[in-house]
């Protein structure tokens, strides 16, 4: 009898215990999601119209993820999206470069902001003659659906170094905002080399060492014909852009700092884009396995960048690094002077 009572009591305690743990987990999840939604969701004053200002921003965020996801899966029609006031808008800001500067990380991180919608693919509209020939409507149709009050951002790093691009972008929108993310030029050049090297290795192609490409073996000077070197002479490219756009329309992002301390860099971009500050430390967490910051959209959805971002660079002869740094130094000084942003590059 006593044994039966004890078993019954144990069973009851087990049920009560499970209920308590379940409720606790629910509360933690709820508080977690509220914590997160409060700082990043409201877009005061930006999502006007007849709707309730208080609830629209949250819905905007949900729709932004949900409907677009359905659309990609082919479950939502274009008409349904239009019914929700969703439109395809030309970008109000473009990440024009620099290749290997952290352009993908910047775009993905800005996309954490509820008022920002990213074009996932690099569109290469302005740098590719064939695409450009298809016209601005073709470009607009490549843009994701968004609310009219949201801003669309695309990134195509080839824009920064392609001759024709500034004029073409100017013709589309002379007041567009332009983001340039840069890294210490020698590191960027090695990162550029590493990417090309990986492609060549995959195709079983022969390749040279970085040192052989970056230094002209005849003169022992820096080889300015090597594209990875040329791309890192930021000031030369920027000067071409300045023939079309005033410097106030550019914002320089420190790509090295975006790796180690992304939030302050993103806050500067929010300011430049006149967006209310909505990206918080909650949205960025350091992943020790990846060795990089990853993105937290909510309590359920996190993501790190693909493995192709954050490659291990080959070791480069220190004397070549010193030579390159010396070479880039005067160009860097000019870049700081023009942009008004001093980066502590060697």
Is 311 marked as binding a ligand? yes
Q: How far is the CB of 173 from ligand A3P (least distance, A)?
A: 23
Taking alpha carbons only, the member of 189, 178, 184, 181 closest to residue 230 is 189
Report if residue 103 touches ligand A3P, rule: CB under 6 A: yes
Report if residue 186 touches ligand A3P, rule: CB under 6 A: no
Separation of alpha carbons 46 and 275, rounded Å = 9
Active-site positions? 100
Q: What is the 3-state secondary structure (H, E, C) of 14-81?
A: HHHHHHHHHHHHHHHHHHHHHHHHHHHCCCCCCCCCCCCCCCHHHHHHHHHHHHHHHHHHCCCCHHHH
Report if residue 156 touches ligand A3P, rule: CB under 6 A: no
Report if residue 193 touches ligand A3P, rule: CB under 6 A: no
| Contact of 227 with 237, CB cutoff 8 Å | no
The residue (of 23 and 121) whose beta carbon lies closer to ligand A3P is 121
**Site map 316..335 versus ligand A3P, x via CB under 6 A:** --------------------
Is 340 marked as binding a ligand? no
The residue (of 99 and 118) whose beta carbon lies closer to ligand A3P is 99
Report if residue 296 touches ligand A3P, rule: CB under 6 A: no
The residue (of 145 and 345) whose beta carbon lies closer to ligand A3P is 345
Burial of 304 (0-12, 13-18, 19+ CB in 10 A): middle
Burial of 44 (0-12, 13-18, 19+ CB in 10 A): exposed
| Contact of 150 with 117, CB cutoff 8 Å | yes
The residue (of 88 and 103) whose beta carbon lies closer to ligand A3P is 103
Q: How far is the CB of 287 from ligand A3P (least distance, A)?
A: 9
Taking alpha carbons only, the member of 58, 256, 92, 70 closest to residue 169 is 92
**Site map 113..142 versus ligand A3P, x via CB under 6 A:** ------------------------------
Is 102 marked as binding a ligand? yes
Using the contact rule CB under 6 A, the part of the chain among 11-19, 57-65, 80-88, 303-311 near ligand A3P is: 303-311
Is 293 marked as binding a ligand? yes
Q: How far is the CB of 290 from ligand A3P (least distance, A)?
A: 7
Q: What angle do CA 326, 331, 335 make, to 5 degrees?
A: 135
Q: What angle do CA 141, 255, 229 make, to 5 degrees?
A: 90
Q: How far is the CB of 305 from ligand A3P (least distance, A)?
A: 4
Is 224 marked as binding a ligand? no
Cα 157 to its chain centre, rounded Å, is: 12
Binding residues (CB under 6 A) for ligand A3P: these are: 99-105, 157, 191, 258-259, 292-293, 305, 309-311
């Amino acid at each position: 009898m006593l044994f039966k009572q004890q078993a019954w009591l144990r069973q009851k305690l087990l049920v009560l215990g499970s209920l308590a743990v379940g409720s606790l987990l629910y509360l933690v999840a709820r508080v977690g999601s509220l914590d997160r939604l409060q700082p990043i969701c409201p877009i005061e004053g930006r999502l006007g119209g007849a709707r309730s200002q208080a609830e629209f921003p949250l819905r905007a965020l949900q729709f932004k993820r949900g409907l677009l996801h359905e659309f990609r899966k082919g479950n939502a029609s274009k008409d349904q999206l239009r019914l929700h006031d969703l439109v395809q808008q030309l970008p109000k800001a473009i990440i024009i470069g620099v290749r290997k500067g952290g352009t993908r990380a910047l775009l993905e991180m800005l996309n954490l902001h509820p008022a920002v919608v990213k074009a996932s693919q690099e569109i290469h509209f302005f740098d590719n003659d064939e695409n450009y020939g298809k016209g601005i409507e073709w470009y607009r149709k490549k843009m994701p659906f968004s609310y009219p009050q949201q801003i669309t951002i695309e990134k195509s790093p080839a824009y920064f170094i392609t001759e024709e691009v500034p004029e073409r972008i100017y013709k589309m929108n002379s007041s567009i905002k332009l983001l340039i993310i840069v890294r210490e030029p020698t590191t960027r050049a090695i990162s550029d080399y590493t990417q090309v090297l990986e492609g060549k290795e995959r195709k079983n192609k022969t390749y040279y060492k970085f040192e052989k490409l970056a230094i002209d073996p005849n003169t022992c000077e820096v080889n300015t014909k090597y594209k990875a070197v040329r791309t890192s002479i930021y000031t030369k490219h920027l000067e071409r852009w300045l023939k079309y756009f005033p410097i106030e329309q550019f914002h320089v992002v420190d790509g090295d700092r975006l790796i180690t301390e992304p939030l302050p860099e993103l806050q500067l971009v929010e300011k430049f884009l006149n967006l209310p500050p909505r990206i918080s430390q909650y949205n960025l967490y350091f992943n020790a396995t990846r060795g990089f910051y990853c993105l937290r959209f909510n309590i359920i959805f996190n993501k790190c960048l693909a493995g192709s971002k954050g490659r291990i660079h080959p070791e480069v002869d220190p004397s070549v690094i010193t030579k390159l740094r010396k070479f880039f130094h005067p160009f860097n000084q000019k870049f700081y002077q023009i942009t008004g942003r001093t980066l502590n590059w060697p």
